[in-house]
């Protein structure tokens, strides 16, 4: 049996400010750091040994993973991939979610956040929030840098990377991925064969590892959050 642990980063500064964050590279809050350390403690207390680590290019996911490793006293290098980044929210990037509800309506904001194939308007390439103007993306090919994304777009890049770079190690390794709400939702859609309606209901809590165990045929045997007091609804699985 092998394990896959999916961990959404701890609370970020823009989570706290209720902003659409996407590819903007913000860090963890103090609460987010505590959530990351708690994630590490949960893994440690369950006596889980991790063989391979993956994260996005983004600071909040990277620092969550580093804090987990610090608790585990594990100094392994981890793989960073832009394909595991959060969904790009286009022109919504940097805007306050509550203010947008007042401006365009709660239903429309929900559609932008949870619909399968609806893209927000493109973010202006001159915006300081555009990935082209953020240093960590300097080595990413420009054709791979989006101006906006739907969850479907996010799914396609996340799942392609997972199938090509991660899935092959499942038979012999325990793997931890530290990523983002939408990149994890995309991966869950693939792993649990969720339809477009089910994926819209799926909420991923920050800093609470989701443990998925597989048999030798890579079929899922078990799925649970390590902190059941902060577990979101897993009925869709």
Q: Please tell me which residue in 17, 30, 41, 86 is annotated as part of the active site.
A: 86
Q: What is the DSSP string of 152-169?
A: HHHHHHHHHHIIIIIGGG
Q: Tokens in use for 109?
A: 């904001």
Does 106 participate in catalysis according to the annotation? no
Find the helix or strand (DSSP H, E) in which 53 lies. strand 52-55
Question: SS3 for 108?
Answer: helix
Question: SS3 for 100?
Answer: helix
As a whole number of angstroms, the distance between CA 128 and CA 108 comes to 25
Q: How many CB atoms lie within 10 A of CB 136?
A: 17
Does 9 participate in catalysis according to the annotation? yes
Find residue 3's DSSP bridge partners: 213
CA atoms 198, 221, 5, 226: torsion sign: positive
Catalytic residues, by residue number, are: 9, 86
């Amino acid at each position: 049996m092998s394990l896959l642990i999916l961990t959404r980063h701890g609370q970020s500064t823009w989570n706290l400010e209720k902003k659409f964050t996407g590819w903007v590279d913000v860090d963890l809050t103090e609460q987010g750091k505590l959530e990351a350390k708690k994630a590490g403690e949960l893994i440690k207390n369950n006596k889980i040994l991790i063989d391979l680590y993956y994260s996005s290019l983004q600071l909040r996911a990277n620092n969550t993973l580093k804090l987990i490793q610090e608790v585990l006293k594990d100094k392994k290098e981890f793989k960073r991939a832009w394909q595991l980044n959060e969904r790009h929210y286009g022109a919504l990037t940097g805007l306050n979610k509550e203010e947008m509800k007042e401006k365009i309506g709660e239903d429309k904001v929900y559609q932008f956040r949870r619909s399968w194939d609806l893209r927000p308007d493109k973010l202006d390439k001159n915006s300081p929030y555009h990935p082209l103007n953020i240093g960590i993306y300097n080595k990413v090919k420009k054709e791979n840098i989006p101006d906006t994304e739907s969850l479907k777009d996010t799914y396609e890049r996340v799942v392609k990377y997972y199938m090509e770079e991660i899935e092959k190690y499942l038979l012999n390794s325990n793997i931890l991925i530290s990523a983002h709400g939408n990149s994890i939702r995309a991966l869950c859609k693939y792993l649990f064969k969720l339809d477009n309606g089910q994926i819209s209901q799926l909420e991923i809590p920050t800093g609470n590892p989701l443990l998925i165990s597989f048999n030798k045929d890579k079929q899922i045997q078990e799925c649970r959050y390590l902190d059941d007091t902060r577990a979101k609804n897993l009925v869709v699985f």
